[in-house]
């Protein structure tokens, strides 16, 4: 569970890992000028390692990132989609423990560096980890009750909430192109959900409850497996309305909590100065006690409940899936840094936008989600919205960079976000909400 951070933050990480492609080394320009002043020939830059022609060098990191993102969503959907599954918090607890173990082992082997635990950082970061628990819990519940394509489309709404939160609290701004992408995001969500919206209006509550056509009643991403169920057919319309909104209510709650988490974290991360691996380690470690308390309070740990949630036929498969999803957070963090280091933050943001299409299609491929006019149109509009958003944010960043250069006379080697950024992400259930999980 690694939390999202701003594009400025990501650019700083990219600079720590290595300068953006096509940019000079810091200080190289001043060294050359100093040589001219002394009447010397400037030293020749070191020979660069030949790169693969075209964009071949970027294929591996981009594909790795896409595979990691899609596989995390599919694995988590598989884990929580069992009939009557209720122990989401226990699953998240196991994933956190796996993530902590993976990061700590990497530290012991010398692959990464971690800040030592101290009371000040724990006190500062504990509220963030607590918020993150609610983010991942509501996200897992939403994914449990919704198809992956619909989940992916609605996750875009988090971008809008965060962007306007930054306008209110951080002086961010929203350009016309970015606003246009927001309109497309809302439109894609309405189109994708239209069968449920129109089918669950009070005027058609009888059809919703299965009384009009018991064999053809709607399956509305809720805990009711089929509207032909006798209990659903006997339900009053008001109760049917509440159930119909079950998955959407979890999604709406997740969007609001995710936006609040990102906005609060933006301030807190400046107080701690955490790097990516520090954030991952602290998020996972400090979430463990919160998840234990919440799971014991909300979920029934009886032998009967454990048997129902982890039936003998699926038990080992579920345990392996939980382990994979726990390691997936580490893999996503690495592939993101690799993608930015090898290409640029601009390319990374575009990959995040384009990745929404295969992510949505993965639900149709692996879970047999029906392909309809509404969800196909919603996916297409959401895909277009992601591209428009990425292009708009990159233009905004370039304008800010040029304005900064004009004001200071010094060309900036960092791509500024221009105030207001963020997105979630990629439609991934935020079991490991990453510091970079906000696509431009």
pLDDT at site 344? 63
pLDDT at site 435? 39
Q: How confident is the model at residue 215 (pLDDT cuts 50, 70, 90)?
A: very low
Distance between CA 160 and CA 48 in Å, rounded?
A: 42
Q: How confident is the model at residue 292 (pLDDT cuts 50, 70, 90)?
A: very high
**Does residue 387 lie in a domain region?**
yes
**Does residue 27 lie in a domain region?**
no
Read off the tokens for 434.
């990453």
pLDDT at site 4? 43
Distance between CA 273 and CA 217 in Å, rounded?
A: 53
pLDDT at site 86? 82
pLDDT in tens, 48-74: 444 444 456 778 888 888 888 888 888
pLDDT at site 187? 92
- Which class for 46: exposed (0-12), middle (13-18), buried (19 or more C-beta within 10 A)? exposed
Distance between CA 163 and CA 10 in Å, rounded?
A: 17
What is the pLDDT of the chain when averaged over all its residues? 71
**Spatial contact of 153 and 188, defined as CB atoms under 8 Å apart:** yes
Residue 283, H or E segment: helix 276-298
**Does residue 129 lie in a domain region?**
yes
348-356 average pLDDT score: 69
**Spatial contact of 328 and 96, defined as CB atoms under 8 Å apart:** no
Q: How confident is the model at residue 83 (pLDDT cuts 50, 70, 90)?
A: low
Number of domains in the chain: 1
pLDDT at site 314? 83
Three-state SS annotation for 304-347: HHHHHHCCCCCHHHHHHHHHHHHHHHHHHHHHHHHHHHHCCHHH
**Does residue 227 lie in a domain region?**
no
All residues at 6 or more sequence positions from 334 whose CB lies less than 8 Å from its CB, including other chains: none
Angle made by CA atoms 21, 25, 29, in degrees to the nearest 5: 125
pLDDT in tens, 300-319: 888 888 888 888 888 888 89
**Does residue 293 lie in a domain region?**
yes
- Block residue for tokens 């990480």: 13
**Does residue 70 lie in a domain region?**
yes
Domain that holds residue 425: 7-21+56-200+245-432
**Does residue 89 lie in a domain region?**
yes
Distance between CA 155 and CA 433 in Å, rounded?
A: 13
**Does residue 30 lie in a domain region?**
no
361-383 average pLDDT score: 80
């Amino acid at each position: 569970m690694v939390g999202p951070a701003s594009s400025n933050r990501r650019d700083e990480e990219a600079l720590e890992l290595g300068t953006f492609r096509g940019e000079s080394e810091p200080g190289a320009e001043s060294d050359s000028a100093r040589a001219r002043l002394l009447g010397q020939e400037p030293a020749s830059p070191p020979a660069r390692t030949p790169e693969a022609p075209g964009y071949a060098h970027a294929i591996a990191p981009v594909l790795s990132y896409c595979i990691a993102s899609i596989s995390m969503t599919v694995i988590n959907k598989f884990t929580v989609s069992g009939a009557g599954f209720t122990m989401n918090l226990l699953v998240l607890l196991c994933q956190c423990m796996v993530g902590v173990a993976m990061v700590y082992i990497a530290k012991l082997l010398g692959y990464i560096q971690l800040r030592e635990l101290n009371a000040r950082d724990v006190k500062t970061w504990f509220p963030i980890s607590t918020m993150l628990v609610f983010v991942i819990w509501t996200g897992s519940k939403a994914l449990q009750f919704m198809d992956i394509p619909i989940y992916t489309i609605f996750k875009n709404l988090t971008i809008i909430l965060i962007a306007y939160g930054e306008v209110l609290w951080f002086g961010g701004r929203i350009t016309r192109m970015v606003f246009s992408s927001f309109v497309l995001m809302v439109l894609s969500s309405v189109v994708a959900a239209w069968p449920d919206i129109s089918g669950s209006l009070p005027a058609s509550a009888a059809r919703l409850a299965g009384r009009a056509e018991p064999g053809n009643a709607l399956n509305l991403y809720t805990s009711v497996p089929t509207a032909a169920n006798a209990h659903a057919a006997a339900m009053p319309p008001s109760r049917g309305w509440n159930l119909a909104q079950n998955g959407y209510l979890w999604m709406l709650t997740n969007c609001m909590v995710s936006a609040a988490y990102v906005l609060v974290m933006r301030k807190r991360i400046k107080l701690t100065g955490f790097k990516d691996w520090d954030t991952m380690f602290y998020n996972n470690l400090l979430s463990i006690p919160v998840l234990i308390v919440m799971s014991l309070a909300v979920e029934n740990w009886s032998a009967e409940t454990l048997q129902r949630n982890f039936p003998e036929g699926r038990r080992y498969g579920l345990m392996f899936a939980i382990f994979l999803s726990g390691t997936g957070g580490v893999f996503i963090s690495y592939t993101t840094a690799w993608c930015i280091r090898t290409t640029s933050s601009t390319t990374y943001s575009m990959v995040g936008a384009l990745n929404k299409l295969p992510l949505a299609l993965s639900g149709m491929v692996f879970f047999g989600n029906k392909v309809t006019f509404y969800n196909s149109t919603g996916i297409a509009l959401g895909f277009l919205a992601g591209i428009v958003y990425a292009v708009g944010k990159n233009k905004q960043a370039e304008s800010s960079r040029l304005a900064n250069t004009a004001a200071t006379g010094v060309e900036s080697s960092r791509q500024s976000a221009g105030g207001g950024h963020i997105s979630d992400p990629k439609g991934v259930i935020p079991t490991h909400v990453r510091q970079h999980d906000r696509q431009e």
